[in-house]
Copies of this chain bind each other. A is one copy, B any other.
């Protein structure tokens, strides 16, 4: 489904709605009286363009256009959908709805409100049934959650259509069963926020320590399983009821400033345990553990960033990179084929065949080339100071045996030839001493300013020549081979 969306209010939230609609092929018409709004919209769109399309394994539809308009009436003319993201003051919202509905009473309006209930928004409206809550989360162009909250005044068909629009732009419409102040997610955010204010005020923790307590711990869990599924696992083999029995008593303890707790009776236990079964009962605890661990490995590894970039790494990923540096042994002997990579095969390197995917062999050989670059002095400083870098021109990989999760792969690298701009490398990958793959790589030294080949700095050239001389000898079996060549 595509169409035209009217975006009323083009700030951080409205601008990101506009970007998401456009990248999913919708045209947008924007109203925002802020003289800075054009600049702000284009900055948000630039952020969205670089991040959202790459989430998909297929190309998104052609980008929709954007027009800006001087009045709300003009903005909503002909629109299939309207988004309201004006300040959180009820009288402002009511005025905006009146202007929209005077011009276009039939258009459905999704409000981005964090806190107001739809029935509050609908008070005094020309067409109350066409106003509902579609509460998104920052950054709206990336995060899929949209809380969809209706009141009894909204016809079911209108709510269904709202869900369809949200799905069409890649979101997950979460239908909230009953309206409540702050909907669902913001109630948690507000509870945590209030608890955090106390901790800061009382000098227990700084803002940074609080953020660390979240992102090195439960934040990693919540990115993939939320609260109840996580606790289901924590209950272990005995399951959710066991967890509830174990942590029920804490409700009586001063573990938070939030002391107005519900009665923890059998009825509530049955309700939660039953819902948890419906949600996750199709998996055993062991299966959930493995899914969770797979996800956590993927998340933390993604936070490491590109392995060869010394500046990459954030949060748990930055911590892992520090540990990588600490774990790495002394610089190797360069006169023999050089041990460039020794690592366990991570959970996220497998494919449906249950073994290390073809592309990960390429990644390991790429990491081996990076390590060689670092050892010969083409490191972050060298690249940063504009002396050049290495680009790969050509590679040939032979897959000699399967590699499984948990195997330790060891790559050694031999410099077959290094003359001027060209560096010819030979990687061998082993598991437990057995050769499992070879990689033959032709690298070119390149000037990053001109993107053309150039000679390496003299000290690098000298190091390379010395290594190539030390590695000289008959070509290894398989070098110079083309694809499909008979053995």
Contacts and interface: CB of A to CB of B under 8 A. Distances in A.
Contacts of A292: 139
A345 B54 contact: yes
A225 B305 CA distance: 15
B405 A271 contact: no
Interface string A464-487: 000000000000000111111100
The 9 closest A-B pairs by CB, nearest first: A54-B346, A211-B226, A298-B302, A219-B222, A53-B344, A145-B217, A362-B362, A258-B258, A223-B223
Band of interface residues on A:
35 or more
Contact of A298 (B253, B303, B353): B303
Q: What's the number of copies of this chain in the assembled complex?
A: 2
Interface stretch (A57-65, A104-112, A126-134, A455-463): A57-65
A376 interface: no
Contacts of A215: 222-226
Interface stretch (A150-158, A190-198, A330-338): A190-198
Contacts of A349: 54
Interface in A347-368: 347-353, 357-363, 365-367
A35 B274 CA distance: 30
B188 A176 contact: no
A223 B226 contact: no
Nearest to A44: B289
A445 interface: no
Max chain B CB contacts within 10 Å: which of A47, A256, A320?
A: A256
A233 interface: yes
Contact of A395 (B223, B233, B352, B358): B358
Contacts of A245: none
Contacts of A59: 327, 342-344, 408
26 contacts: A56-B320, A58-B327, A58-B328, A59-B327, A59-B344, A88-B246, A142-B300, A144-B320, A172-B316, A174-B213, A180-B204, A181-B253, A182-B253, A185-B217, A187-B195, A191-B191, A191-B257, A194-B256, A194-B258, A197-B261, A206-B278, A207-B275, A256-B258, A299-B302, A308-B352, A424-B484
